[in-house]
Every structure is written in structure tokens, then in C-alpha cells.
Chain A
Amino acid sequence: MDVPKTIVSSSPHLHARSSTASIMWDVSIALTPAALWGVYVFGFRALAILLVSIATAVLVEYLLNMKGNNPKTILDGSAFLTGLLVGMNMPADAAFAVPVIASAFAIFVVKWTFGGLGANWVNPALAGRVFVFFSFTGLMNTYRMPRTLATVDAVGSATVLTEIKLAIGEGAVNGLSSAGVLAETGYPFTGFAGSVSSWFQQTLGIGLSPYTVDAFFGNIAGCIGEVSAFLLIAGALYLMVKKIITWHIPVSFLATFSMLAWLFGGVRNGLGLFQGDFVLQLFSGGMMLGAFFMATDMVTSPTTHKGMVIFGVGIGFFAFLLRFFGSLPESVSLAIILMNIFVPMIDRYILPKRFGETIKEPKKQEAKA
């Protein structure tokens, strides 16, 4: 019997059946609910921004794939994911040129000039976002209120973080908490959030500001994909169940940030230590999107679990510093990029523990005598 068609190859002869493409598409799936929520609350324009971002990223990837012997990565979903993340990081009212530039910068400069998939040293989507953020600060800071908060002027609103930052800048805080500041400025909240807040106050005796409730469910102004903390967490749980991300980065990041924000976050409001409203901080801005979907980017995070914890703690620290003491209201993307730069160093020095105990060699008697 001859067996000409059988394969002879090195072991192992089984595989876990995962692939780079399956990982990328799963992350995109996990992001979809939060993106759809953004489309729902910000309207058709949000969808258009998402599509433009994705189309640009995929197109640039395709053009670069055409060139010479570049690896053909168009179908692995990584460009789609980068485009989706760029779009989710845009305000719904950004000019269409902004996502186009951001996506093109992400794929062309950040990803491909360093060698394509796996070779970039910062997260492409984040770098794209930061690039346009500093290039078109005005355009990137114009948010619209979600449809669920449509009691007020829809376009040109500030996010809760900007509102707080402005108030502090004007010295108008007078020892108020963050929620107090928002209430003072008359920042709106939904009726739903109001009733949840009072239920917490009356039934459980816990003070939960309606702004936190709105931030958690996504009834706040912000970028398309970052507003619904709830749906982002749901997506992250999906990724954890599928073992695509682990708890190490998000938990160490969010825990560090919360701890610091709780400890020192009240200081700038003229309050003492242990007065920071870290819960509102956690659910607003790009915190959840950053912690679960940006910081966990495999290419730009450490490979060891210990390294991942250090990486997460570092992001939490920088995110706190930048958000509370920096001049910009938003900080997560910069914090992640800062720590991306440390990843090669972390991977160099934080090694997994080698298997094998140390055995005490019997002491040489002769040497003593």
C-alpha cells in the first residue's frame, strides 16, 4: 500500500483551531453592540463615520497588500478592526476627512511602515485617533448629545469630563464633588437615571449620582463607540469567555486608576483625600473602550501575565495623572500609548518563572574543615 498523499510534518498534529483572523473578527463582534448603541443615540451620521473609517482602513491595507511581497493580510480582519476602532473613537460630528486621515495614518504610518501586522509598536487605531486629535483639536472636541438626552441643544455639547475640567479651570468648584459640579452647571441627565439614583439613595442608602448612571448606560456625550460602558463590558466578557483577552490588563489598569482617583481625585475640587468620584470617572470618556479593547491589543501589550499587570498598572497611573492634572479632559489614549512604548522593555525583563525548584546542594564537608 502506498500512501503518497499523506502529510509528513513535525509534531504536534493537533491545533486549538484559533487563528489571527478568528481573534480579530471576534474582537470586532464584541465591539458591535457598543458601536450600534452609538449609531442609535447619535444618529445616521455616526454610522456614516464608522463606515468611512472602516472603508479607509481596509482600502489602505488592500493597497499595501498589493505591493511586492508584502504579506496578504486583507482578510485577517485586522484592518477592519483598526477601522472600526478609529470610527468608534470619533465624535459623530467630525468632518469626514478626519476619520479618513486617522484610518490612513493608522494603517499606513503606524502599522505598515514598521512591517505590518505584528510589527507595530503602538496600537494603530489609538495612534490614528491621537494624531487627528492633536491635528484637529476643535473638530475632535465637538460632541453632540445622545438622542436619549435630547432635551437640550443637540450639537456642540461638552462631555462630562470637559464640563468638569472647565469648571475646575474657572475655579468654580467650591469644594463640590464631580457630580456636584455637573449639577451646578445644569448638565442634563435622563429621567431614568434620576429615578435609579433616587432609588439607590432611598432603598440602599447609597449616593449614586444620576450622571454615573447615564455614563454607565451610554446616555452621555462622547465618541461614537465609547459612551456605553455597559455594552463595552458585555463585549469584554464575551472576549474573556472566548479566552481572547484575560483579566490582567483591564483589571490592573482600572483598579490602579480607581484607587488613585479615589485617593487624590477630590483634591483638585478642593476636597480632601479619599473624596474622588472614581465611579463616574470609570464610566466616562474612553475608559472602558481603552481598558478592554485598546490596552488589550495583543501586538502592543506584554506577553507574560506578570508583564500585563505591570502594563495595566502603568496605564492606570498615567491615565490618572493626565486626566486629573493634565490640560486635556481625555487621557486614556495617551496613557495607553505611553505604556505601549514600555512593552519591549517589560517583555525583556519580566520573564515567566522557569519550571524547576532549586535544590540545596549538600555542603561540602571538606571545604569547611
Chain B
Amino acid sequence: MERIPTFRKGGVHPDDKKVLSNGMAIERLPVPAELIVPLSQHLGAPATPLKQKGDTVVAGEKIGQASSFISADIHSPVNGAIVDIKKVNLANSVVTEAFVIVPDAENPLGNWPEQPYDMLSPQEMLAIIKDMGVVGTGGATFPTHVKLAVPKGKSVDALVVNGVECEPYLTADHRLMLEQTDLVLRGIMIVAKITQPKRIIIGVENNKKDAIETLRQVIASNSYPITVTPLKVKYPQGDEKQLLKATINREIPSGKLPLDVGAVVLNIGTSFAIYEAVALRKPLVERVVTVSGEAMSTKRNLRVLLGSKVADLIAFAGGVAHEPDKYISGGPMMGFAFHDDQIPVIKGTSGILALDNDPAMKAPQTPCISCGRCVAACPMGLQPTKLFRLIDNRMYADAMGMNLMDCKECGCCSYSCPAHLPLVHGMKLGKRLGRK
């Protein structure tokens, strides 16, 4: 028996609900009538627009230019015409400029044949990744070229690939691992060439045994120097801090990055995007989105052009079977509830969920009974109940002094609170007001 590792401190075990959609092969969403392509689809500064209303664009053409060090280029997903530039709201409550693109009726899609890439130097590959606008597709959308640029004097001990997908319902990475196994692995080998790690590990939670099996087979037949590590299911293992603890037993210190413990972390969707960027010179213009939730008529894994409206995805899945309680962009633990189905899919949209009425989510708040469940559940070793009390009393500086900024809003505390206190909401508020 192999010992199945996980991270040690905190964590919760929500019902993973993967079975709703993990048997559904990835399908392509038909080209929608209109795309809304925001200039801010990533962490960092919004891109600067390169096109104007009335311009025609071709698929893969750069339409937004990265505007600072942490920023990313934006490309047109289709051949078509820009009919408008307008302000839009995104699910994560970011307000940004967006191109409204009407795809060409006859030939909307681009064509990107594979090109040789073995001869490219690491620097050239990195430049291509930057040029193709690749960002982390797990949700945090950190620009990948920044992450992969290993500063001089630092070396990478481990490249850890995140196949955990710990959020309930989401199966997009799972399907990619099953269906595009070789291309995902090639993407990983490209990153290995850039960062020169001593070892390469793919961490996969063992509720995806088929993916572990498939990855191992393809790795063996190609003799890739990659280890697949099954991990015990526990949320939030897909966070890079918990993932590194589980796979290489290192803890990233507060405020530091994976590179500070000699690691680079990358998820499955991003690996696939990197393959497409370097081997096909195809920009990040589409991604896989899980469409699921009890209230959704059918559950799907869709390959979607960025800028497609959420309404198009829901309509493709046959609409909702009944009025859902909540629409979520992303996973149910960290995703964003939205009410407007005209918002676009962006680089970080991993799922669109229609959640059923859940009485537990409507239970009234009751006083804190100091049960300590939030303390036990916090993977960062914080005391959510104390932080919440401080923030409630507007003592933001004191909350900061108790490491409020270590909180990554994973939701374990609110999830386990029997008093139904909105702990994560308090943390978000405290961070925002405490920074001032």
C-alpha cells in the first residue's frame, strides 16, 4: 500500500459532486452570436486596448496589450468585427472595458496547426507564452510568464502540477487529464525546459483514479520524467500552499511565493494552454468550463471561446431545470455568485453552476459559541472567530496584527461554522478596510 499524502493542518470535506459531470466528454460550445472580451481577465493591471469600434479582427490577433509587469495580453477569439467597446461587470465584481465582437458568419474560427518547437530556447518559449496571453486558469489568473521567469540565483527544486481540482462540482481539469493527456504532459515538459526543475510531480486527488491511471500510462509510454502523486481528498488542497505541503512537504512562508521554497506550481488547464501557446502559437482564447449544479438541466464540460456569455453556456446545457438558488462562477467554495447571465466567460472561469435551494445557506446567524471549528478548519493556522470579532468592531489594525493577510478566503471557516457567521465575508471586508 502506498501512503496517500495530504496537507496536515485544517481543511474540510465537502461532498465533491464530481459525479454529476465527470463522465461528460468535453464538447465544443458553438460560436455565439456575440462575444464580450474584457480587457481585464487576469490578476494585475488591465490591458491597454489596441483596437477601436468598427475595426475588424482575425482570430488570435492581439487586441489588448499588457500594460505593466503583472498584466497579460488579450487576443480576439474569432474572426469578426468589433461593434462596441463598453464597460462590463464581471462575476468577481470587477468593472472593466470590454470589446464586443460579432464573429464572422462564415468563417469565425482560427486555424492553428502544430509547429516545431523543440529548437526554441527557454527564453523564446517564455516570450511566446507572454505573447499568447497565458495566465493561470485555475481562477487566480496570475500571468504565467511572470510565474515561470525564475530570477537569477534561484533554482527550481520541484515543478508541481496541480491536478487536484479540489472545488466541488468542477471537472474541467479532470476531463483534460483524461482526454488531452499527452498534450497536457507536453505542456508540462515545455515548462520543465523553461524552469529546469530537479523533479516534476503531478498531484491528483484520488477521487480521480482514472486520471491518475491514464497519466501514468502516457508518462510511461513517453518516458517523461514525471511522477504522479495521488493525494487524499481534502479541500483546499488545490491551493498552491496546501499542494506544496502535500506533495513536497514544504510550507510557503506568509507573503512569499512558491519559488521561495524552490517550487513552481502550475495547474492542468494552464499546462494545456502553454502547450497550445508554444506548439501551435495559439493564444489563450478558449478554455474548458464545467457547467453543472443540481438545477442545471444537463451537466457538461464545454470548450468555450473566451467572451461567450454565461447565458450561451446555460442555454447549450438545456437551461435550468428549475429556478436555482444561486448562480456561481467558479467553484462553490471560492466562486462568485452572479445574477446577470450576460457576463462573459474569462480566462479564469472554471465553472458555471446553478445551485439548488439549500436550507443550510439560509439558516439565520446565531451568536458565536466559541466551538473552535473554524480554528480547527483553517488551513493557515488563523483564528477566524477572533479575527471576525475584531473586524466586526472595526479594529482592523489588530486584525492585521493577527495575520489577517494570510487568509486566502478558502471558505473552510464559514463552511464549518455552526453559528452560520459570514466569516469569509468579514475577512474580505477587513482586508479591504484594513489596507487603508
Contact = CB atoms under 8 A, between A and B. Distances in A.
Contact of A16 (B337, B367, B386, B415): B415
B9 interface: yes
Interface stretch (A51-59, A156-164, A167-175, A350-358): A350-358
Given A17-B360, A302-B372, A352 B366 contact: no
A298 B376 CA distance: 13
Bin the interface of chain B by size: 35 or more
Contacts of B420: 15, 19
Contacts of A148: none
Contact of A10 (B378, B419, B424): B424
Interface string A7-19: 1111111111111
Interface stretch (B57-65, B70-78, B141-149, B322-330): B322-330
Contact of B251 (A18, A304, A355): A355
A253 B371 CA distance: 18
B382 interface: yes
A118 B381 contact: no
A117 B364 CA distance: 15
A12 B254 contact: no
A4 B327 CA distance: 11
Given A13-B335, A18-B418, A354 B406 contact: yes
Nearest to B367: A118
Given A11-B335, A14-B332, A16-B12, A303 B253 contact: no
Given A1-B341, A303-B383, A352-B375, 5 more contacts: A13-B326, A15-B415, A21-B366, A304-B375, A354-B406
Contacts of A301: 370, 372
B112 to A, nearest CB: 34
Interface residues of A, number: 48
B256 interface: yes
A6 B327 contact: yes
The prevalent SS among residues of A at the interface is loop
Given A6-B327, A352-B378, A1 B311 contact: yes
Interface in A313-369: 347, 351-359
Interface in B312-361: 323-328, 332-341, 355, 358, 360-361
B370 A298 contact: yes
Contacts of B216: none
B415 A14 contact: yes
B422 interface: yes
Contact of A20 (B12, B369, B380, B414): B369
A118 B335 contact: no
A359 B260 contact: yes
A17 B406 CA distance: 26
A11 B328 CA distance: 9
A12 B355 CA distance: 12
Contacts of A118: 367-370, 419
Q: Which interface residue of B363, B369, B382 has the most chain A CB atoms within 10 A? A: B369
Contacts of A18: 373, 416, 418
